[in-house]
Amino acid sequence: MTTNSQKKPETLFLLLILIAAGVLRFYNYGGFSYSNDELSALNRLHYNTFAELVQKGFYVDGHPGGIQIFLWQWLKLFGDNEWAVRFPFVVFGILAVWFSFKVAKFMFGTAAGLFTAAALSFLQFPLLYSQIARPYGSGMLFCLMLVYFWLQLFFDKNGKLNNEKPRIRILAGFALSASLCMYNHYFSFLFALIVGFSGFVFARKNNVFHYISAALVAALLFVPHIPITLNHLTYKGVGLWLGVPDKMWIFGHIFYIFDQSVFILSLFLTTLLALLFVEKQGKSMARFRILLATWFLLPILIGYIYSVKVNPVLQHPVLIFSFPCFILLIFSYAGNAFNKLKPWILAVFLISGITGTTLINKYYQAQHFGEFKDIARLTAEWEQKYGDSNITKAISINSPYYINYYLKRYNCGAKFAVYDINGIEGLEALSTVAKNSKTPYFLYALTKPAPAEGEDIIRSFYPFVVDMKNYGALSSIVLFGKAAGSTYEQANGLTEIKSLNANLTRDTAVQGKTAGAYKMDSVTEYSPAMELNLDEFINNGNLVFAAETDLFSGGSTAGSALVISIETADGKSLYWKGAESRYIETPNTWQHSISTLKMETPLPIGAKLKVYFWNKDKKVLYLKNLGCRVFE
């Protein structure tokens, strides 16, 4: 039985943990750019009727409609700025910390609850997804609520099977929580199913009928959504861009849970060891630990099998719903009594965790998602400085709405000549615009993955960099110039460490524009190659290989390309990149072709670099100044 003297430090620490969770989540939560997913959700809210919202807002999306319906109503009341839209999700995140305490306390005791709540308050995983308006922070809360009511259905406060009939309040809470999980996200739906089926292991005569009835109520609440879910099952969804997970994926996920930080991982390990030392006579709660391990691992296993066999869906955010089970499992060994050294251990754990997140890992300085807000700001700023009519603009983005949302905020009416640079069609569109552009400047922005060739194409016509900003996380913006600015190497902070030049024999029979050039024709498929053993750079940092040549042709050279190839010592290809000449060539005019390959992984011993021009269709063309530079 807990006395008032024991309860006082518990209440104080819980209050401090919730304050910490609130401060960490509310700090600058509306100051950073909407993510791609948030803008996608906002883009599907501009409908006047509920029927339109269903048909165009989430019937075609691949996620359950619960969060879209909530946001549709919320925006009507509070508008669509970041501070208003994200506010309820921050609150959900704080409530999830509180519910994690309640669940852990019910299972293992007060100390376990406090340490679990402390961990959820500062870990980046729950923090990050409590600061954005997506179904992850909300789903974590709903899943913890589900577990809390589920526990009260089957167990008493001593962890023994409950012999009493469940109260209506508990049954209603379980049914509502399960329904919220189902409407929130399909992985929170999956978690609810796993927890739901676990109940039949512990169900007895006194509660099995009530349990089935509550589950049926939850299922009935989801019935209106079933046709929509059936449609979602026909979609490929994120499998269009998400890779198949490898066999070591789960270990990467566990490291992700600990902020991908050796400091945070070490903090958890030392805290656990300290608790094991202090709590030597803790009660055995094997059944709860088995449950938590099952609830944590099953969604990963199911997601992995589905991703490998059917369609890739496994990514870190979708496992946030089961993630608290792992933290609960770790701190199950903290036990119940919150006395002796435990308050001191908790204080050190909480302070160190907050320090690790904010100061060591620099959470608030990091770029966690793609950038839209600042790209719009710089676009508006550059337009004002250099003139709208003097800048040709191209952007790689999922929807024009995503950038227009922020351009409107900066009173900028910028129009982009290209909005999608993926695939052959995107590169051809970019090529056409760059070739025909007469403006002195060319703005190029990326908000999602795009072919590396895009930047090379632009540099063939706009060789200078006037201004640029790289946000990491797949976002960047560059203002290229035709006649003025820094070199590409200067702007990117590259240091040249090697230079190669191909031995091109001059064709003395050729006159006019091509005089003194190297001729390729029907019998010349490959130019002379430059080769370099890369062992001399084995201790260097990230390498950039930049191949360049001047090209002249009388017509289309089809698939001909300036090639950079890296091979193993025995000739096996490691990397191959070809800058196709058709994207930059103009008939009967000399053009500058560029191919850039960035290396961010170590190369094996004996790796070799080869650079050459591949005249794939053996057309007549001419080359000059074929060379390659190596940068660090």
Map 320-386 to HEC letters: CCCHHHHHHHHHHHHCCCCCCCHHHHHHHHHHHHHHHHHHHCCCCCCCCCCCCHHHHHHHHHHHHHH
Give the pair of three-digit tokens for residue 503. Answer: 């031995």
pLDDT at 534: 84
Check pLDDT > 80 for residue 241: no
Question: Cβ(548)–Cβ(592) under 8 Å?
Answer: yes
Interstrand relation of 608-614 and 591-599 (parallel, antiparallel or unpaired): unpaired
Specify the pLDDT at position 473.
Answer: 67
User: Alpha-carbon distance 75 to 83, whole Å?
Assistant: 11
Share of residues in the chain with pLDDT > 90 (%): 66
d(CA 513, CA 22): 70
For 397-444, the pLDDT digits (tens) are: 999 999 999 999 999 999 999 999 988 899 999 999 999 999 999 999
515 or 576: whose pLDDT is higher?
A: 576
DSSP annotation of 27: T
Strands (E), 473-529: 475-481, 486-487, 496-501, 518-520
- pLDDT reading at 4 higher than 80: no
Q: Kindly report, residue by residue over 271-296, the tens digit of the pLDDT.
A: 999 999 887 655 568 899 999 999 99
Q: Please give the pLDDT value at position 424.
A: 87
Find the helix or strand (DSSP H, E) in which 391 lies: strand 391-396
Asked whether the predicted pLDDT for residue 526 surpasses 50, the reply is yes
Side chain identity, residue 288 = F
Per residue in 184-204, is it b (16+ CB within 10 Å) or e — as a string?
bbbbbbbbbbbbbebbeebbe
∠ at Cα 127 (186, 272), nearest 5°? 100
Residue 468 phi/psi, 5° resolution? -165, 160
Show Cβ contacts of residue 313 under 8 Å, excluding neighbours closer than 6 positions.
237, 238, 239, 242, 303, 306, 307
Neighbours of 116 (CB within 10 A): 28
What pLDDT is stored for residue 616 in this prediction? 87
Residues 187, 188, 192, 194, CA torsion sign: positive
Query: How does strand 441-446 pair with strand 391-396?
Result: parallel
Contact at 8 Å (CB) between 520 and 622? yes
Which of 263, 455, 272 minimizes the C-alpha distance to 360? 263
Contact 444, 478 (CB under 8 A): yes
Two tokens at 292? 């938590």
Task: Look at residue 234 and tell me whether its pLDDT is greater than 90.
Answer: no
Measured between alpha carbons, how far is 196 from 107 in angstroms, rounded to an integer? 17
φ, ψ of residue 409 to 5 degrees: the values are -65, -35
Is-contact 630 497, C-beta < 8 A? yes
Coil, strand or helix at 589: strand
Partners of residue 591 on adjacent β-strands: 551
What per-residue confidence (pLDDT) applies to 521? 87
pLDDT at 237: 52
Q: Quick one: which H or E segment has residue 428?
A: helix 423-436
Supply the pLDDT for residue 511. Answer: 64
Residue 48 token pair: 């006047």
Phi and psi dihedrals of 164, rounded to 5?
A: -95, 155
pLDDT per position as a tens digit, 288-334: 999 999 999 999 999 999 888 888 888 999 999 999 999 999 999 99
Q: How far is residue 53 CA from its own chain's centroid?
A: 26
For residues 222-257, b (16+ Cβ closer than 10 Å) or e, as one string? beebeebeeebeeeebbeeeeeebeeebbeebeeeb
Looking at residues 12-41, what average pLDDT do you find? Answer: 96
The per-residue pLDDT for 55 is 93
**Rounded-to-integer distance, Cα 448 and Cα 429, Å:** 17
The gap between the terminal CA atoms of the chain, to the nearest Å, is 66
Dist. CA 608–CA 570, nearest whole Å: 10
Task: Taking residues 362-391, report their average pLDDT.
Answer: 95
**H-run or E-run covering 19:** helix 4-26
Return d(Cα 555, Cα 582) in angstroms, integer: 9
Q: Which of 176, 197, 159, 181 is nearest to 322 (CA)?
A: 181
pLDDT in tens, 447-469: 988 888 999 999 999 999 999 99
| Dist. CA 219–CA 132, nearest whole Å | 28
The mean pLDDT of 587-616, rounded to a whole number, is: 88
pLDDT top residue among 574 and 27 = 27
Q: What is the dihedral of CA 80, 85, 86, 88, to 10 degrees?
A: 170
- Which amino acid, residue 442? F
Higher pLDDT, 141 or 165: 141
CA–CA distance, 192 with 188 (Å, rounded to integer):
6
Which H or E run includes 10? Answer: helix 4-26
Query: What pLDDT does 1 receive?
Result: 46
Q: What is the mean pLDDT of the chain?
A: 91
Q: Which of these CATH numbers, 3.30.310, 2.60.120, 1.10.287, 1.20.930, describes 496-631?
A: 2.60.120
Distances (CA, A) of 117 to 15, 96, 266, 288, 349: 11, 9, 18, 18, 11
Calculate mean pLDDT across residues 521-543. Answer: 85
Q: What Cα–Cα distance (Å) separates residue 20 from each residue in 106, 184, 330, 358? A: 23, 26, 21, 12
Answer whether residue 173 shows pLDDT above 70: yes
Residue 163: pLDDT band (50, 70, 90) is confident
